[in-house]
A and B are shown apart, each in its own frame.
Chain A
Amino acid sequence: QKEVEQDPGPLSVPEGAIVSLNCTYSNSAFQYFMWYRQYSRKGPELLMYTYSSGNKEDGRFTAQVDKSSKYISLFIRDSQPSDSATYLCAMTGNQFYFGTGTSLTVIP
């Protein structure tokens, strides 16, 4: 079983839609959870960082963690064409583990 599972997509939505991105994980020792955005041929850019179950909001982005279900989500409200990128979930124990990334396209 992989440490982190993420649906690779691709996901295509119209501008203004609410986007939901999800990851599941198997290791209950993971305590810190991150979402990164990666544009083509660029380094991952940190979007959100959480360490407890519940929701964390930052502008149009909301990160949700459910440790009991080993499930994390990223919601993007009022999606924009500039949100088109690959979104990576990541979590840490001793090492960093990344999901495969979900490719998102927001259509104007």
Chain B
Amino acid sequence: EPEVTQTPSHQVTQMGQEVILRCVPISNHLYFYWYRQILGQKVEFLVSFYNNEISEKSEIFDDQFSVERPDGSNFTLKIRSTKLEDSAMYFCASRRQPNYEQYFGPGTRLTFT
């Protein structure tokens, strides 16, 4: 069964460093998403991406965040200058069409040294 994959499973960073989180959505899906979940809190929407551009973003998705689909399979989330409050699980998701069910990857845990 096709699934969304994410790498790395755990990313350790330092204050002010740039990180890139990678996702491979399900191959025939066209809509891509990033979410975050701070430990013990709910899943929060960050951004949606379609046709090589951002279609929606939340207030969390500020200038330090960017997304990219550099090739036909990968979908990345870049955090330019990480802060302690960025510690969370970051989930990628994809779906085939609007209003179809959305499938999540296993997540990347972002922590600090």
Q: Which residues of A contact B (CB under 8 A)?
A: 31-32, 34, 36, 41-46, 49, 51, 88, 90, 92, 94-101
B14 beta carbon closer than 8 Å to chain A:
no
Contacts of A95 in B (CB 8 A): 45, 48, 56, 58
8 pairs, CB–CB < 8 Å, chain A vs chain B: A41-B89, A41-B109, A43-B4, A46-B103, A92-B99, A95-B56, A97-B45, A98-B42
- Seed contacts A43-B91, A46-B102, A92-B102; 15 additional CB < 8 Å A-B pairs: A41-B107, A42-B107, A43-B104, A44-B43, A44-B91, A45-B104, A46-B104, A51-B99, A94-B56, A95-B48, A95-B58, A96-B93, A97-B45, A98-B45, A99-B42
Please count the residue pairs between chain A and chain B whose beta carbons lie under 8 angstroms apart in the complex.
51
Q: How many residues of B contact A (CB 8 A)?
A: 23
Known: A94-B56, A95-B48. A32 touches B109 (CB 8 A): no
